[in-house]
Structures are given as structure tokens and as C-alpha cells.
Amino acid sequence: MIIAKSAKDLDKMRDVGELIAEVRESLRGMVEPGISTMELNNAAEKMMRDAGAIPTFIGYHGFPYAICASVNEEIVHGFSKTTPLKEGDIVSLDMAATYNGFVGDTAMTLPVGEITDELKQLIRVTEECLELGIQAARANNRVGDIGWAVQQHAEKYGYGIVRDYTGHGIGRQMHEAPQIANYGRPGTREKIRVGYCFAIEPMLNLGTHETRTLSDKWTVVTLDGKPSAHAEHSLAVTADGPEILTLTKEQKKLRAAKMSA
Ligand code: MG
């Protein structure tokens, strides 16, 4: 069952969304050659706890870290490591916090120093797919419309669209119904209603869409070893359209200005 959120719930979703967005933006400013994902993880955990929030990932089905840090061919659920990131790497940082009983979930993929044009495009298109998916998350649309919006854009570039992992409903639980695949047919699946909250998260691969899981039982990598990018926002479906929850106050202002221009 998809749980529609009340106005009160939505305010709490906004609070936790902003909180985790602040953490994400702090990490964005830290990523550079030489820093390790363990340092990023520790900083993220500290920021969440200092803000009075719980790092949702820690202990989730036994996951040991506050963030998922997935480098290059790692798609999602990567473990933080003390190995420094290198110039030319790309790193996906996925994080979630629980605050006042509600969860915010967000991810981004960042270049480490200078990266190739091929990787820049992969990251850019992943972000574009996220935006298109968000725009499809409107009342009276269907969940399949979101997947279709992501798929049709990713396919223009020939990217492998990860099928084994999906976006999801979000609220008091990190993972609520429905599953939100990054492919789909328009007009199919559940009808979208005001009050639904979703985490949309395209995962695009430079090569095959196929995945495998490493022996740590968590880290998901591309089957062909080619790089992968991932971007995620949590959003609320409102009567006025999709509202991204995982933006900082500053980003919300900028987005509102852009949308009304
Ligand atoms: Mg998620």
C-alpha cells in the first residue's frame, strides 16, 4: 500500500529533506583527490548526529556505514574505505537520515578532480534523467510514467539502465511502496496521488545494465566493469506538482526562481 502523507507529515519530510541536503552539500565541497570515502562517511555521520538525526543506513539489514560510497564501476551500496580517491575517479555518495520519525534519502555522483568528457556526460545525463523523473511524478500520472521519463532519455545515449535496483516510496520507512523502476511504460502501474512521497534514483551505466554483488554482500558493481552514475532526490507530490524535499534552503530559493522564470 502506498502511504499518502498528511500536511503535518509533509512538514516533517521537508525538515529531514533539508537536513540531509545540507549533509550532501557539505560532502560535495569535500570531494577531491586524496580524500577517502571513510573520511566522507565519518563527516556525514557526525553532521547527522550533531543535527539530532539518525543515520538511517547504519544497521539497515546490517549495513555498516552512514553513507553508501560507490566508486567508478561500483553502482550502489559501496563500503567506505580508507583508500584515497584518485584524480579521474567518479564517486556516488548516497545517504539518508531519520529525524522526527521521517526519512530523507538523496544521492549524487561527483567527479574527483578532472574526469573524462565521457564521464562528465554520464553524470550530466543521470542528473537530467532524475529531473525528468521528478517532473513525471505528478498527481494522476502513473508510476510507469516516471520510469518511462528516465528510460527514454537514458536510451538516447545508449546507457545501460540498472534494472536490479529501483527508487521507492519514502516516509516513516526508508523503503515504502511503490518500487519505482528506472524504465517503464507510460500509463502503467499505480496512479500517483497528492501526498505520496517518492525517492527517485536513476542508476546509469556506461556499458551493460547487468550487475553483480561483491563478496562483501553489499557492493553492487557493473558486470562489465564500466563506470556507473547515480543521482537521487526525495520528493512530495503536491497539488502544485512535484516538490523536491532534499534541497537546501538556498537551493529551494534558486529552484523556485528558475521554475517561475
Ligand atoms: Mg533510495
Cα of 17 vs centre of ligand 1, distance in Å, is 13
Q: How far is the CA of 107 from the centre of ligand 1 (A)?
A: 8
Over range 67-73, report the average pLDDT: 98
Distance (Å) from CA 261 to ligand 1 centroid: 30
Q: How far is the CA of 76 from the centre of ligand 1 (A)?
A: 10
Whether 174 has a pLDDT exceeding 90, the answer reads yes
Residue 176 alpha carbon to ligand 1 centre in Å: 10
pLDDT category at 127 given cuts 50, 70, 90 is: very high
The full set of domain ranges for the chain reads 7-260
With bands split at pLDDT 50, 70 and 90, how would you rate the model's confidence at 176?
very high
Q: 121 C-alpha to center of ligand 1: Å?
A: 22
- What does the pLDDT read at residue 116? 98
User: Is the confidence at residue 192, as pLDDT, over 90?
Assistant: yes
Query: Which pLDDT value is given to residue 205?
Result: 98
If you measure from the C-alpha of residue 93 to the centroid of ligand 1, how many angstroms do you get, rounded to a whole number? 11
Whole-number Å distance, alpha carbon 200 to ligand 1 midpoint, is 7
> How far away, in angstroms, is 59 Cα from ligand 1 center?
15
Give the mean pLDDT of 31-57.
99
Question: What is the 12 CA–ligand 1 centroid distance (Å)?
Answer: 18
Residue pLDDT, tens place only, 6-19: 999 999 999 999 99
Q: What is the pLDDT of residue 39?
A: 99
Residue 31 pLDDT exceeds 90: yes
How high is the pLDDT of residue 103? 99
pLDDT at position 261 is 84
Tell how far the Cα of 199 is from the centroid of ligand 1, in angstroms.
6
Residue 150 pLDDT more than 90?
A: yes
Q: What is the pLDDT of residues 211-255, one digit of tens each?
A: 999 999 999 999 999 999 999 999 999 999 999 999 999 999 999
The confidence band for 183, taking pLDDT boundaries of 50, 70 and 90, is very high
C-alpha 21 to ligand 1 mean position (Å) = 14
Identify residues whose C-beta is under 5 A from ligand 1, the ion.
105, 199
Quickly list DSSP for the chain. Answer: ---PPPHHHHHHHHHHHHHHHHHHHHHHHH--TT-BHHHHHHHHHHHHHHTT-EETTTTGGG--SSEEEEETTEEE-PPP-SSBP-TT-EEEEEEEEEETTEEEEEEEEEE-SS--HHHHHHHHHHHHHHHHHHHH--TTSBHHHHHHHHHHHHHHTTPEEP-SS-EEE-SSSSSEEEEE-S---TT-SSBP-TT-EEEE--EEESS-S-EEE-TTSS-EEETT---EEE-BEEEEEETTEEEESSS-HHHHHHHHHHHH-
Between the CA of 147 and the centroid of ligand 1 the distance, in Å, is: 15
Q: What percent of the chain has pLDDT over 70?
A: 100
The rounded Å distance from CA 169 to ligand 1 centre is: 9
Looking at every residue in the chain, the average pLDDT score rounds to: 98
7-260 CATH, one of 2.30.40.10, 3.90.230.10, 2.30.30.140, 3.90.330.10: 3.90.230.10
Residue 75 Cα to ligand 1 midpoint, Å, equals: 13
Q: What is the mean pLDDT of residues 187-197?
A: 98
